[in-house]
Amino acid sequence: MKILAIESSCDETAAAVVQEGVILSSVVATQMKVHAEYGGVVPELAAREHLSNVLPVVNQALSDAGMSAKDLDWIAATQGPGLPPALMVGYQAAQHMAFALGMPLLGVQHHEAHLYSPWIHSEEARLETEAFEPHISLVVSGGHTMLVWVRAPMDHGVVGATIDDAAGECFDKTAKMIGLPYPGGPVMDRLAAEGDPKAIDFPRPMLKDSGLDFSFSGLKTAVRYHLEKHPERLQSPDSLKDVCASVQAAITDVLVAKTLRAAQKHAVGMITVSGGVACNRGLRAALGQACERQGLRLRVAQPIYCTDNAAMVGTLATWRIRLGATPTPREEGIRAGWMLDEKA
């Protein structure tokens, strides 16, 4: 079974070819530079970029896999959630290809693709379903932060989520206050590595709360007030690094504590992590140590499959098709507000 997968929910145009769970190719065209001058993603510009990139990216993915379109068996694409103008471009390309080639189409939920991305085995770029066990998954990205209890493959439910901003958004917005370029998360990660995480005691929102939800907007405000009061913090490279390390520590402390609490509450022996923020080295290290202390197994998505990509769309489609997924009607449109708890 050979699947062509397409992803265009935000600012990456991506295509991949996945054959029997092995990623034969994965191409990502990022629009970061286009949006950087606006400090965030502009949906209209994203759609235009997707439109010029989608066919070259699909052609590249096919050529890297040594295939032509008629060798494929299925077309899969992100159907939601995401920015409607952006989603529409990739999804429509998939609809048209499926129609022209007479192939089945599978619409994929974006968070679900992140959720199962840690199962891509890093060395072989292969979907490793045989190692599956019930787990708690932290899906942490620019648009979403949630804890999901995965009882069996494709049997999962959200047990905690942010009530306001996503963790990635908190990284990006505080980075902007510090004067770092967009997207701020990766830059903060780099600077934080050389700073003191205990330099400033920023709040750990909802850490003491016994539930599994998150809130990051208050932390953002606390950073703003702190910098207004102490503008000197940004004047030397060393104290700027301390600010980055302290913000990162506040975010990761909450993410780690709630993820471990969810694992305990639902009595699972494994944690998985995915989404752009899962690239963060501070978070990866803190989770690694916490899981080791608690005797939990940890599977973190490989960095190239953390940020938006189509390989995760193709691997999820493989898994779903193996479990008997029926094709998505070709005339069905995008589902921009599609939540993870809603069935496909």
By CB under 6 A, name the binding residues for ligand KG4.
Answer: 10, 141-143, 168, 171-172, 183-186, 189, 275-277, 279-280, 307-308
- State the CB neighbour count (10 A cutoff) for residue 267: 8
The binder of 107, among ligand KG4, Zn ion, none, by C-beta within 5 to 8 A per type, is none
Closest contact distance (angstroms) between CB of 185 and ligand KG4 is 2
Nearer to Zn ion, 189 or 308 (CB): 308
Residue closer to ligand KG4, measured from CB, 87 or 150:
87
**In this structure, are residues 115 and 158 in contact, taking their beta carbons and an 8 Å threshold?**
no
Q: Does 189 sit near Zn ion (CB under 5 A)? A: no
**Measured CA distances, 204 to 49, 156, 197 (Å):** 38, 28, 13
Residue closer to ligand KG4 (CB basis): 94 or 273 = 273
Q: Long-range contacts made by residues 44-48, C-beta under 8 angstroms, separation at least 24?
A: 44/85, 46/10, 46/11, 46/83, 46/85, 46/86, 47/83, 47/85, 47/86, 47/88, 47/89
**Quick check: 141 binds Zn ion (CB under 5 A)?**
yes
* CA–CA separation, 188 and 174 (whole Å): 9
Q: Does residue 308 interact with Zn ion by CB under 5 A?
A: yes
Say if residues 263 and 271 touch (Cβ distance below 8 Å). Answer: yes
Of 202 and 338, the one with the shorter C-beta distance to Zn ion is 338
Residue 49's binding partner among Zn ion, ligand KG4, none (Cβ under 5 to 8 angstroms by kind) is none
Give the nearest distance from C-beta 114 to Zn ion in angstroms.
5
* Long-range CB contacts for residues 190-194, cutoff 8 Å, separation at least 24: 191/240, 191/241, 191/244, 191/245, 192/241, 192/244, 192/245, 192/247, 192/248, 192/249, 192/282, 193/245, 193/281, 193/282, 194/241, 194/245
- Compare residues 98 and 191 and give the one whose CB is closer to ligand KG4: 191
Q: Residues 274 to 293: which contact Zn ion by CB under 5 A?
A: none
Contact between 145 and Zn ion (CB under 5 A)? no
> In DSSP terms, which residues pair with 135 in a beta bridge?
150
Query: Among the candidate windows 100-108, 121-129, 133-141, 282-290, which touches Zn ion by CB under 5 A?
Result: 133-141
If the CB atoms of residues 110 and 261 are measured against Zn ion, the closer one turns out to be: 110
Give 19 or 141: the residue with its C-beta nearer to ligand KG4: 141
**The entry of Zn ion, ligand KG4, none that residue 168 binds, CB within 5 to 8 Å by partner kind:** ligand KG4
Q: Which stretch binds Zn ion (CB under 5 A): 22-30, 116-124, 178-186, 308-316?
A: 308-316
Query: How many Cβ atoms sit within 10 Å of the Cβ of residue 108?
Result: 29
**CA–CA distance, 172 with 15 (Å, rounded to integer):** 26
Nearer to ligand KG4, 104 or 303 (CB): 303
CB of 249 to ligand KG4, least distance (A): 13
Q: Which does 307 bind (CB under 5 to 8 A by kind): ligand KG4, Zn ion, none?
A: ligand KG4
CB of residue 279 vs ligand KG4: minimum separation in angstroms?
4
**What is d(CA 268, CA 260) in angstroms, rounded to the nearest whole number?**
10
Q: Is the N-terminal amide bond of 56 cis, ω within 30° of 0?
A: no
Give me the least distance between CB of 97 and ligand KG4, in Å please: 23
Side-chain-facing half-sphere of 211: CA atoms under 13 Å: 12
